[in-house]
Copies of this chain bind each other. A is one copy, B any other.
């Protein structure tokens, strides 16, 4: 599963750290005073330290990280609701796992290199091959059906730079061992549940569905051998973006006639199931598959989100049946997510035939969409409950005790660790953190074994006995 289109969105989607734009900002600094151990002398080296993350990658400052965690939590919650188990694999895999010869972008733009042990390795461009490897490693030890999800960081490398990102995070949901469209529909339902959970409606997002069997049946009718199926699908996917002339070379490489492609594209512009039925006939497996999927979507009550679209084929070679793609109804953004059925993938690795379906859902386009629809929560607040502050160095030990008590009662507490800070600074600091309370230990309060607590929301101040701090924490929870 991959939605690699979604990597290539604006650089400032989740990150907001690079001063804008798609390129590198030259915020270089000097690496002074480097110690040379050979002679123990200081060398005035002028190595420049680039403070930007590597080209095409992101830093996650706390606010960006809160957004990322929020998004991942939404994904995790939906996956769990549907009974999926989380897994992970190394971000670095053997290159051989990803090299397929079907002209896919995902394999052409591999972030691969030779490591120090002369191994050909790659930063994963997608998660599905790792999943296949993991399942095969257990040699049948994993009971099917398997319903697994993961949120891997995926990488790609292009020589030509168009300000596109080289990494993204991608929610993957996969069902293995179920041949019927029931699995595809369950995946579509999970995807819609996520969209709803973040406040999107079927007016914002649609999911185009199709089956590669449509192409398969047309090719069979035209007498094109089955081996050309995967590469043809990748080619047809490219036709969405570039004119036929531009991929003349690819055509010849596959050994396909121009007329075949023209015939294919003609079928793929048919925009209704009935229209496809007219072309492929009542008994067409493709038609039955799509019809069955549509019926299931009705039962899931997600039919408002689903659109049959014969032109959707997705750009990965391994899809075999149902394919789908979530899209922005406004038509402004790239594909939000994509997936489908890939019943033959495990066989290509030498494994047993295993029906499989899944999707990949990138972290970039969805955030753009949520921003555009004003559905993104604010991540400005750090979530700190109370800033604890001693009004003098001799009171610092008491501040430690107060912070400890509040933490033990379950609060998120920022203890002011500097002994020389003024109240004015502390309140400004608390405000910047988005804290709810400031707990002040002054000498008067100390003598009375009390803490002065200021509620930053309503400005009210109260004095709480040291012994009653945990009660105060409980009471303040009730108020919220």
Q: Is A371 in the interface zone, CB < 8 Å from B? A: no
**Quick one: which of A94, A155, A347 has the most chain B CB within 10 A?**
A94
The smallest C-beta distance from A303 to any residue of chain B, in angstroms, reads 13
- CA A93 to CA B57, docked complex, whole Å: 9
Interface locus among A207-215, A223-231, A325-333 = A223-231
- CA A415 to CA B81, docked complex, whole Å: 11
CB pair B117–A55 under 8 Å, yes or no, is yes
Given contacts A40-B228, A51-B134, 13 further A-B contacts (CB under 8 A): A32-B348, A39-B255, A49-B96, A49-B350, A51-B133, A51-B136, A54-B90, A62-B148, A82-B413, A85-B382, A147-B414, A182-B418, A186-B415
CB pair B349–A83 under 8 Å, yes or no, is no
Given A35-B101, A350-B49, the answer on whether A115 and B396 have CB atoms closer than 8 Å is no
Residues of B within 8 A of A351 (CB): 29
Interface locus among A3-11, A275-283, A397-405 = A397-405
Give which listed residue, B349, B407, B411, contacts A49 with CB less than 8 A: B349
- Residues 414 to 469 of chain A near chain B (Cβ within 8 Å): 414-415, 417-419, 429, 432-433
Residues of B within 8 A of A119 (CB): 54-55
Residues of B within 8 A of A167 (CB): 90
Q: Which residue in chain B gives the minimum CB-CB distance to A35?
A: B227
CB pair B299–A49 under 8 Å, yes or no, is no
The smallest C-beta distance from A395 to any residue of chain B, in angstroms, reads 12
CB pair A94–B54 under 8 Å, yes or no, is yes
Residues of B within 8 A of A128 (CB): none
Given A29-B136, A413-B82, the answer on whether A34 and B300 have CB atoms closer than 8 Å is no
- CA A94 to CA B28, docked complex, whole Å: 13
Given A27-B137, A348-B34, the answer on whether A182 and B417 have CB atoms closer than 8 Å is yes
Q: Which residue in chain B gives the minimum CB-CB distance to A36?
A: B101
Residues of B within 8 A of A227 (CB): 35, 40-42
CB pair A401–B299 under 8 Å, yes or no, is yes
Q: Is A260 in the interface zone, CB < 8 Å from B? A: no
CB pair A37–B254 under 8 Å, yes or no, is yes
The smallest C-beta distance from A307 to any residue of chain B, in angstroms, reads 20
- CA A29 to CA B136, docked complex, whole Å: 9
- CA A100 to CA B61, docked complex, whole Å: 25
Q: What string of 1s and 0s marks CB contacts (under 8 Å) between A83-95 and chain B?
A: 1011111111110
Given A137-B59, A349-B29, A382-B83, the answer on whether A143 and B228 have CB atoms closer than 8 Å is no
Q: Is A116 in the interface zone, CB < 8 Å from B? A: yes
Give which listed residue, B52, B101, B155, contacts A137 with CB less than 8 A: B52
Q: Is A172 in the interface zone, CB < 8 Å from B? A: no
CB pair B89–A91 under 8 Å, yes or no, is no
CB pair B35–A102 under 8 Å, yes or no, is yes
The smallest C-beta distance from A386 to any residue of chain B, in angstroms, reads 9
- CA A429 to CA B177, docked complex, whole Å: 14
CB pair B81–A412 under 8 Å, yes or no, is yes
In the A-B complex, the 9 residue pairs with the smallest Cβ-Cβ separation, listed nearest first, are: A83-B414, A62-B85, A57-B90, A51-B137, A29-B350, A60-B88, A182-B417, A30-B350, A178-B417
CB pair A31–B417 under 8 Å, yes or no, is no
CB pair A82–B407 under 8 Å, yes or no, is yes
Q: Is A163 in the interface zone, CB < 8 Å from B? A: no
Residues of B within 8 A of A117 (CB): 55, 157, 159
Q: Is A33 in the interface zone, CB < 8 Å from B? A: yes
Residues of B within 8 A of A115 (CB): 111, 113, 157
Given A49-B350, A59-B89, A382-B83, the answer on whether A37 and B231 have CB atoms closer than 8 Å is yes
